[in-house]
């Protein structure tokens, strides 16, 4: 398995994994272990890869065709995310929160997520490796990474707290859902 930045040729694999674990298309069997709610168009995914270098993947190389994508996470500056209502709300409220005793400054931060790991490799350490590969990719651009976790997604909350060592900064509500706002320094080392 390789942990690397995605290229345009990986888009079909990323979309296949997103379809498998998206709220609208996930199987009933997989639903209790969490699902992705953010939708992304082909144009947005292309921009995320080409302009932001913001997609980190777990790729299983194949001799006969494109690599199989077994995990992905997205990350980008807030300008990119401002097309989504949830992220516009986060942009508005982030300056109200403190991280490690200091007021958050939007321009010091970027947003990571959604992320997804194929069921076949969950709980194996693959999530942590994917997470830290993405985090360190942004180390020279921003000091702090922020994300949101839906409070009903306990598996994601536990993974980000216990495996990724993210801190819960606060909570917020949007669209009838309850979220944790979480953060971590990009120079964090395990
Ligand atoms: C979220 C996700 C990336 C985490 O990766 P993972 O490999 O499953 O994470 P891990 O198994 O290493 O860690 C999950 C933790 O939650 C625990 N856990 C597992 N199932 C759980 C459940 N139903 N409720 C609460 N905790 C649970 C695990 O035991 C583990 O904690 P522990 O090791 O301290 O015991 C992965 O589960 C996933 O892709 N889920 C579907 C998509 C999704 O929900 N994405 C997040 C929202 S965008």
Annotated domain spans of the chain: 2-185
Taking the C-alpha atoms of residue 76 and residue 99, their distance in angstroms, rounded to an integer, is: 19
Which of the four pLDDT bands, split at 50, 70 and 90, describes residue 189?
Answer: confident
CA atoms within 13 Å, Cβ hemisphere of 53: 9
Local structure of residue 67 (DSSP, 8 states): P
Give the Å distance between the CA of 2 and the centre of ligand 1. Answer: 21
Count other C-beta atoms under 10 Å from residue 67's C-beta.
Answer: 19
Could you report the per-residue pLDDT of 128-145, keeping only the tens digit for each?
999 999 999 999 999 999
- Is residue 53 helix, strand or coil? coil
**Quick check: 57 and 69 in contact, CB under 8 A?**
yes
Mutate to test the pocket of ligand 1, among 113, 159, 160 (most ligand atoms within 8 A of CB): 159
Shortest-distance atom of ligand 1 to CA 116: 39
- Is residue 49 helix, strand or coil? helix
Cis geometry, peptide bond prior to residue 114 (ω within 30 degrees of 0): yes
Could you report the per-residue pLDDT of 75-132, keeping only the tens digit for each?
999 999 999 999 999 999 999 999 999 999 999 999 999 999 999 999 999 999 999 9
Residue 163, token pair as written in the block: 């495996």
pTM, 2 dp: 0.96
157-183 per-residue burial string, b: 16 or more CB within 10 A, e: under 16: bebbeebbebeebbebeeeeeebbbbb
At the fourth CATH level, the homologous superfamily of domain 2-185 is Gcn5-related N-acetyltransferase (GNAT) (3.40.630.30)
**Quick check: 87 and 46 in contact, CB under 8 A?**
no
Local structure of residue 145 (DSSP, 8 states): E
């Amino acid at each position: 398995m390789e942990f690397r930045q995605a290229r345009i040729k990986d888009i079909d694999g990323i979309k296949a994994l997103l379809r498998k674990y998206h709220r609208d298309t996930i199987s009933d069997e997989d639903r209790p272990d969490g699902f992705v709610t953010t939708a992304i168009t082909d144009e947005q995914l292309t921009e995320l890869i080409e302009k932001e270098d913001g997609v980190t993947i777990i790729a299983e190389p194949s001799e006969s065709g494109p690599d199989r994508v077994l995990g992905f996470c997205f990350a980008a500056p807030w300008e990119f995310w401002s097309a989504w209502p949830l992220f516009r709300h986060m942009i508005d409220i982030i300056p109200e929160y403190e991280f490690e005793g200091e007021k958050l400054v939007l321009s010091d931060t970027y947003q990571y997520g959604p992320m997804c790991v194929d069921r076949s490799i969950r709980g194996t350490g693959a999530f942590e490796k994917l997470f830290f590969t993405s985090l360190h990719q942004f180390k020279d651009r921003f000091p702090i990474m922020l994300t949101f976790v839906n409070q009903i997604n306990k598996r994601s909350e536990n993974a980000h707290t216990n495996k990724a060592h993210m801190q819960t900064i606060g909570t917020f509500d949007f669209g009838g859902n309850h979220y944790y706002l979480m953060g971590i320094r990009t120079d964090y080392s395990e």
